[in-house]
A and B are shown apart, each in its own frame.
Chain A
Amino acid sequence: MNNKFQKTSSTSDSYRDGGNKGGIVIVDYGAGNIQSIKFAIKRLGFDAVLSSDTEEIKAADKVIFPGVGEAGSAMKMLKSTGLDKVIPELKQPVLGICLGMQLMCRHSEEGDTEGLGIFHADVVKFNNGLKVPQIGWNRIYDLKSNLFDGIKEQEFVYLVHSYYVPECAETIASTEYGVEYTTAIQKDNFYGVQFHPEKSSDAGEKILENFLKAPNPEKKE
């Protein structure tokens, strides 16, 4: 596989706070609750660093791309730091969570925002008379990825969102909320989950662990 980003001098950055043995980087591009993801990773026995440094992100073994606030302003923050160019080129496993997953799509109705274009899907708003945002626990089914190893069909996960990704060829889990839609999506090394694995009890932690243990084809053994 063609590797555009050789791990060179920047490798040391991801090890800078000591115990980051797995080289897990959580992309930090603004306010919001991203500590919870770090804490969940720690409960699983791994360490993660928060970083907005493009070199550090490129050098990571695993990248977690969380969601923060509103799509339009989040994209602006990504553009201002150059992360909008870096993320789609990553070769290691990348997990987008909530808005992170939505930003990895082509377009979002929220603020008429152009996304990173990784997933071949467009994000639209719930418009079916049900409560918006959807807040709470709902079921995931039609599970189609090793991300869900050890997870049973119809497992409950915690969701908070007003916009959704319709079902598409890249869907690896669905949920029903007035409409059947994508709650997890995968293309090559890119994964996205609409739910919050870090807040979805034991099942969520298992999904997060599956991602953290996913093989990294770029890693030199």
Chain B
Amino acid sequence: MLTKRIIPCLDIKDGRTVKGVNFIDLRDAGDPVELAELYAKSGADELVFLDITATEQKRKTLAEMVRKVAEKVNIPFTVGGGISSVEDVDILLKNGADKVSVNSSAVKRPELINELSAKFGSQCITVAIDAKQVNGEWLVHLVGGKVPTDLNLFQWAKEMEERGAGEILFTSMNNDGTKTGFANEALAVLSSALKIPIIASGGAGNMQHFTDVFLKGKADAALAASVFHFKEIEIKDLKEELRRNGIEVRL
């Protein structure tokens, strides 16, 4: 049986990991390669690198980082942040990224997803969606949740699936940073409505939240950052707990 995936997310700036990483056993907590290797050894199923660099040098620096990670790490990883063209994706995949994640560029120009899936295959195209529940409706937001759009989360996700997305990474802006659990109700609706896998993000605070996101939220994978970076939750402990709760994991 296919297992549920646990995915640590690393923020990257100028080729370095930023904020929220507190590993005393790392020689260099800012080195994405060292951190990725450590996560791979500790049982992470995949990694996501989210690049928040805003400079001109971005593309080159990111490609170099991707190459270094790919040389060392033997689990799959996704790269996201500011990807807006076929060329962007080509560079990242050629340097060894397994998947890319596209967010606001898909909102600005939805055809991009058709182009990317036609050229590279759906399996490596993840569409990231940040959404917030406003007056009962889940609306897609841009710029890390700051700018609302009039797109409905579920309709937008469906459209992305139809255009060739291989996976949806849904971050609930209502839950993100709260450590009160994932947006399980919305996740369950999304997971039932779509045929492609759903990665849940936003709200992880304890191990029960992960059990809930798989059993109630029906997510295929769960992504989190700070609970892993600050060692509040060890991935191995988490997976043992999930297995005790009847959830299939890789251990």
Contacts and interface: CB of A to CB of B under 8 A. Distances in A.
B75 interface: yes
Contact of A135 (B40, B118, B121, B167): B167
Given A32-B121, A42-B71, A160-B76, 12 more contacts: A33-B94, A35-B96, A39-B96, A43-B74, A131-B220, A133-B122, A133-B123, A135-B123, A136-B45, A136-B221, A160-B123, A198-B74
B197 interface: yes
B147 interface: no
B93 interface: yes
A26 to B, nearest CB: 13
Nearest to B194: A131
A88 interface: no
Contact of A202 (B46, B70, B74): B74
Given A31-B90, A32-B121, A33-B97, A138 B197 contact: no
B33 interface: no
Interface stretch (B1-9, B131-139, B229-237): B1-9
Nearest to B251: A156
A174 interface: no
A161 to B, nearest CB: 7
B36 to A, nearest CB: 13
A82 interface: no
B101 to A, nearest CB: 13
Nearest to A134: B2
Contact of A131 (B71, B121, B195, B250): B195
7 contacts: A32-B93, A35-B70, A131-B220, A135-B197, A137-B2, A198-B74, A204-B74
B242 to A, nearest CB: 13
Given A33-B96, A132-B196, A137 B120 contact: no
Nearest to B196: A131
A176 B2 CA distance: 8
Interface in B1-43: 1-5, 40
B120 A138 contact: no
A165 B241 CA distance: 34
A13 B94 CA distance: 23
Contacts of B4: 136
B212 interface: no
Which are the 6 A-B pairs with shortest beta-carbon distances?
Answer: A69-B121, A137-B250, A35-B96, A156-B250, A160-B123, A199-B76
A47 interface: no
A199 B221 CA distance: 17
Interface in B165-206: 166-167, 195-197
B84 interface: no
A7 B122 CA distance: 39
A35 B68 CA distance: 11
A134 B220 CA distance: 10
Interface string A132-163: 11111111000000000000000010111110
A69 B75 contact: no
A205 B98 CA distance: 17
Contacts of B1: 138-139, 176-177
A201 B5 CA distance: 14
B189 to A, nearest CB: 15
A139 B3 CA distance: 9
B60 interface: no
A33 B74 contact: no
A107 interface: no
